[in-house]
Amino acid sequence: MRLLKSESKNATSLYVIKDFKEGDKRSTKVVEKLGTLKELAEKLNGKDPIEWAEEYIAELNQNETESMKEIIVKYSPNKYIPKDEQRSFNGGYLFLQKIYHELKLDNICCQIEKDYKFTFPLQTILSRLLFARILFPGSKLATFDVAKKFIEQPTFELQHIYRALEVIAKESEAIQATLYRHSQKVCKRNSRILFYDCTNFFFEIEQADGLKQYGVSKEHRPNPIVQMGLFMDGDGLPLAFSVQEGNTNEQITLKPFEKRIIKDFELSRIVVCTDAGLASTANRKFNNIANRSFITTQSMKKLKKHLRDWALSPSGWSFDGLDKTCNISELMEADFEKKENEKMKHSFMERIFYKERWIKEDGLEQKLIITYSLKYALYQKQIRNRQVERATKKIASGASKVEKKNQNDYHRFIARESCTKDGEVADKTLYHINQEVIDAESMFDGFYAVCTNLEDHPSEIAKINKGRWEIEESFRIMKSQFKSRPVYLSRDDRIKAHFTTCFISLLIYRLLEKKLEKKYTCEEIIDGLKDMNFYKIKGEGYIPTYTRTDFTDDLHEIFGFRTDYQIVDTKRLKEILKISKS
């Protein structure tokens, strides 16, 4: 702060002014009006006003240096706010930015810039694409506008985003491999266990072209789709992804993709876990050599008859703590009735029974593990009963059209009769509940089948396979929270770049979730970061306008900087920005 003398015809006034930097421009603001020379001379009893003012300003500067100065901002109820001046900014992205730099994505971008010799700021563009995808997902045009919401303003133009997408697509596989190596320094990664699954994303278009092809949509939409395969490590962190045409059989995507990550990520001893849809014999055989192993779910209904009969038989079951096999129906009937309180019954409900045997089919020897849970059986029964209720209401409503959309649709319980008992065409189609379908499904309540070439105990196999739900959760986050579909890009390279940014965003989010020890839901984390807004005071700093909570306290504790002061002055903000980029 310094002294300003303003002279007019009638008087000389003294002001305390402060220099500050607004972007690349330097400016000043009036902090305080001290008065005219005449007024001050009268108040100071003959002391020189200029000398007093300089001493006063020196004291203010000393207090500010010692962080003792309280910032006073004056507002007038009679003045309008400046037109087109942005006053509110988001600071929640700073915590994402910290992880971004821990992963050394800035270094990756700098290396790409050197290789391609372009001048636009790839690092800034990629970071904004990621932060916007997590906090304010939208189109690339919307992302350009969203970038202006952050405290640090964009230094690029819209055209640079589309140019950056081309480069990101070309370097996608290299980025994934480098990112994996850097992430190992951020946290320990369980790359011994790998989960693989596929999903697809639809486009609001009619014409198939390039990657966009008509296929079996997971969301049952009549639109062209693009298929995405995702590998996730044993701790739920994304490892790598691939993109294929929408009409590709997902079973054939595993081998080439797995070969790539084995080479690029330098992996060897791995256990690949998939669902039944990806469990072709070819895929199992591929992971039955070298140091590779597999665990895959197995459809009980598709088992050969002698194996299905063995699996559903009440005899030959075990559970942890039991030295011999038992008859599951007799044990449940006897034990459950003896339980004297709800706690003991709950413990029994949680018990997992299992049986196992080695089988050899199509030249592949593997272990078939069957588990049974009374809790799971009751859960499946409740779900089916609700669906039967919906089917009954549908029939009662006199619906004229009943179509089965997929194997889990409640319409599967509705049978239709278009002929009379004599075989003649009926005047009216009759609908009723198909009890045969209900009975056929209830046979498998509580049962779950897994195939593997591992010799581990069934409880260990079940524990590993249980983590497979997290890959489904990752797809849900991308589709719902990150709004990664429908996709509004047409060129294949830009589509691949779009999914590259979605993948990196998912990794950053998962690392944040891990740092927070999974104390908060996805919605709580993202909404919490979105709400961390600040009101800008020119030349002074930023006032937090969010509510301080346990969530914000945890963020500040984990990341080593705080944004919840009554005002974050410009000096402290610079320190925060520096920490967030270290």
> In 3-state terms, what secondary structure has residue 226?
strand
| pLDDT score, position 238 | 96
Q: How far apart are the first and last CA of the chain?
A: 31
Of 35-44, 116-125, 452-461, minimum mean pLDDT range:
35-44
Residues 268-277: what's their mean pLDDT? 92
Residues carrying CATH 3.90.350.10, the chain: 175-321+351-366+454-495
| pLDDT score, position 446 | 92
Are 41 and 56 within 8 A, CB to CB?
A: no
| pLDDT score, position 211 | 93
In the predicted structure, residue 418 carries a pLDDT above the cut 70 = no
SS (H, E, C) 319-363: CCCCCCCECHHHHHHHHHHHCCCHHHHHHHHCCEEEEEEEEEECC
In the predicted structure, residue 130 carries a pLDDT above the cut 70 = yes
The per-residue pLDDT of the chain, averaged, comes to 88
> In 3-state terms, what secondary structure has residue 400?
coil
Task: Indicate the pLDDT class of residue 405, thresholds 50, 70 and 90.
Answer: low
Q: Which residues have a Cβ under 8 Å from the Cβ of 410 and sit 6 or more positions away? A: 387, 388, 390, 391, 394
Residues 368-393: what's their mean pLDDT? 92
| pLDDT score, position 22 | 66
In the predicted structure, residue 15 carries a pLDDT above the cut 90 = no
By percentage, how much of the chain surpasses pLDDT 90? 61
Task: Name the strand (E) or helix (H) holding 256.
Answer: helix 254-264
d(CA 484, CA 138): 8
How many CB atoms neighbour CB 413 within 10 A? 24
Span 545-566, pLDDT tens digits: 999 999 999 999 999 999 999 9
E strands, 350-503, where?
Answer: 352-361, 364-373, 414-419, 425-433, 447-452
Residues 202-229: what's their mean pLDDT? 88
E strands, 104-206, where?
Answer: 193-202
Task: Indicate the pLDDT class of residue 469, thresholds 50, 70 and 90.
Answer: confident
Q: Which residues have a Cβ under 8 Å from the Cβ of 87 and sit 6 or more positions away? A: 81, 535, 536
How many CB atoms neighbour CB 504 within 10 A? 26
Instruction: Write the DSSP symbol of residue 187.
Output: S
Task: Indicate the pLDDT class of residue 9, thresholds 50, 70 and 90.
Answer: confident
In the predicted structure, residue 407 carries a pLDDT above the cut 70 = yes
In the predicted structure, residue 172 carries a pLDDT above the cut 80 = yes
d(CA 291, CA 93): 41
Span 293-317, pLDDT tens digits: 999 999 999 999 999 999 999 999 9
Span 184-193, pLDDT tens digits: 999 999 999 9
In the predicted structure, residue 409 carries a pLDDT above the cut 90 = no
| pLDDT score, position 332 | 64
* 175-321+351-366+454-495 CATH pick, 3.30.70.20, 3.90.350.10, 3.90.1150.10, 3.30.420.10: 3.90.350.10
d(CA 496, CA 458): 40
Span 503-516, pLDDT tens digits: 999 999 999 999 99
Tokens of 290: 């070298």
Selected residue with higher pLDDT from 251 and 41: 251
**Sequence letter at residue 63:** N
Span 58-78, pLDDT tens digits: 887 777 665 545 777 778 899
Q: Which residues have a Cβ under 8 Å from the Cβ of 570 and sit 6 or more positions away? A: 20, 539, 540, 541
How long a stretch of residues is the chain?
Answer: 582
**In terms of Cα–Cα distance, which of 277, 273, 195 is closest to 240?**
195
| pLDDT score, position 486 | 77
Residues 171-180: what's their mean pLDDT? 96
Residue 201's φ and ψ, nearest 5 degrees, are -130, 135
